Amino acid sequence: MGSCLQGGSFTNNDILVFKFSSTGLQHWTSVYSGQYNLSDRANDIALDTEGNVYVTGYLTSVFTGKITKRVGVVIKYNQFGGFIWSQQFSFSSFPLDEGVSFAISPSGYIYILANTILDNSKTIAVLKYSLSGGLIWNRFYDSEINSKNDFAAAIALDSSGNVYATGTKNRINPTIIDIVVIKYDSTGILKWSRTFDNASAGSDYAYKIISDEFSTYVLGVSTFGGSNKYVLLKYSQVTSVNNLNEIKTNYALYQNYPNPFNPKTIIQYEIPVIERHNNVSVQLIVYDALGKEVSTLVNERQNAGYYIVEFNGSKFTSGVYSYRLVVNGNIINTRRMILLK
């Protein structure tokens, strides 16, 4: 699997898949090219239990005039190299989407870890597809306030169907790159997320993740004493990280999903464990495009934890809305969502 030069001009990259026997004999080759015959790329390959082949990456197409854009793609072949289906994905008006990594469950569900852009920031996305290529759900992880860009690295499943993703987040002030680890259940509900920062002025990068019912392991690179060294993180399913005594100390307001939505969407936020504030006043408020308050979803005191709230927009008109998390009178974060009827 990989990218190669293909075509009469020998200047455009297409997605190329080979199958070799155990002795190195080439059985078949399949080529996939985007509509505009521009630079296309494969990033990962996977097999299901029936021997079907899945490839993910991106296609390059024309946006306006000579400006190009990247659209994520997933392609399915049978065990003999025959094309079965392909699906493209993009989530912004000027997409730079790409599939990064695969995980396939024993029952055949396909999970793709991807990079995308939301609200002008690079964001980690997880997509779940059926055997026939139907999109079941997608989720977006935008790592809280004070973060500029998030990048996907690797994805894994446990035997219960829970989804684990890892990548990096780039904090704006100060400019520090940290490892982020995310867990969803099989229905796409965010269970937890954790960040690793070695507390130095350097950067941390994730490369690989594996998980079972008891622990999640992340392999990465971290800066220690001015040099880069491999780091192995082990998280328990109660979301502690061994030998680091990590405690969540940042409030978080996550991007709603689905987005756009009609008429219902889910909003999730996190109240951290802070010794002096184990019970805080929380408000979750929705505003229209003019900044007028249209709905108060939460207005109560809450303890530390993850919270899931449903917003029903059936009584509202289509348009751009925003939702804001306020804790003890302080604005934590505001995000946008689109109601599209």
Does residue 230 share a domain with residue 173? yes
Final residue in a domain of this structure, among 206, 226, 250: 250
Q: Examine the domain organization and report whether 329 and 218 are in the same domain.
A: no
Q: What percent of the chain shows pLDDT beyond 70? A: 82
For position 245, what pLDDT does the model report?
Answer: 33
Give 339's Cβ-side CA count (13 Å radius). 20
Structure tokens at 6: 């293909």
219: in domain: yes
pLDDT at 311: 94
- Is the bond leading into 260 cis (omega within 30 degrees of zero)? yes
Residue 38 lies in a domain: no
Dihedral sign for Cα atoms in the order 38, 41, 46, 51: positive
Number of folded domains in the chain? 2
Residue 147 in this model has a pLDDT that exceeds 60:
no
* Number of Cβ atoms within 10 Å of the Cβ of 201: 10
Inter-residue contact 147 to 123 (CB < 8 Å): no
15 occurs within a structural domain:
no
Overall average pLDDT of the 297-321 stretch: 89
CA distance 132 to 31: 20
Residue 187 placed within a domain:
yes
23 belongs to a structural domain: no
The residue among 250, 284, 313 that closes a domain is 250
Q: Coil, helix or strand for 161?
A: coil
pTM: 0.66
Answer yes or no: do 165 and 282 share one domain: no
- Position 152 confidence tier, pLDDT thresholds 50, 70, 90: very high
- Residue 140 and residue 171 in one domain: yes
User: Hey, what amino acid is at 78?
Assistant: N
pLDDT digits over 43-87, tens only?
999 999 888 999 999 988 766 666 678 889 999 999 999 999 999
Q: Do 324 and 198 belong to one domain?
A: no
Render pLDDT for 3-38 as a digit per residue (tens, 0 to 9): 332 322 234 578 888 888 888 888 888 888 877 677
201 and 299 both lie in a single domain? no
Do 231 and 278 belong together in one domain? no
User: Would you state the pLDDT for residue 196?
Assistant: 82
C-beta separation of 244 from 235 below 8 A: no
Structural domain contains residue 29: no
Confirm whether 71 is domain-assigned. Answer: yes
| Cα-to-chain-centroid distance, residue 131 | 20
Specify the range with the lowest mean pLDDT, choosing from 72-81, 115-124, 171-180, 291-300: 171-180
Domain carrying residue 234: 64-250
Burial code (b: 16+ CB inside 10 Å, e: under 16) for 105-120 equals beeebbbbbbbbbbee
Say yes or no: 152 and 241 in one domain.
Answer: yes
> Are 135 and 229 part of one and the same domain?
yes
Q: Would you say residue 210 has pLDDT above 80? A: yes
CATH (domain of 334): 2.60.40.1930
Contacts of 42 (CB under 8 A, 6+ apart): 1, 2, 3, 15, 16, 17, 55, 56, 57
82 and 206 both lie in a single domain: yes
Point out the domain boundary residue: 250, 285, 313: 250
Question: Could you tell me if residue 116 is inside a domain?
Answer: yes
Please give the pLDDT value at position 144. 54
233 and 279 within one domain: no
If asked whether residues 330 and 243 sit together in one domain, one would say no
Q: What angle do CA 170, 175, 178 make, to 5 degrees?
A: 40
Q: In what order do the strands lie in the sheet with 176-184?
A: 147-157, 163-171, 176-184, 190-196
CA atoms of 122 and 152, how far apart (whole Å): 10
315, 127 Cβ separation under 8 angstroms: no
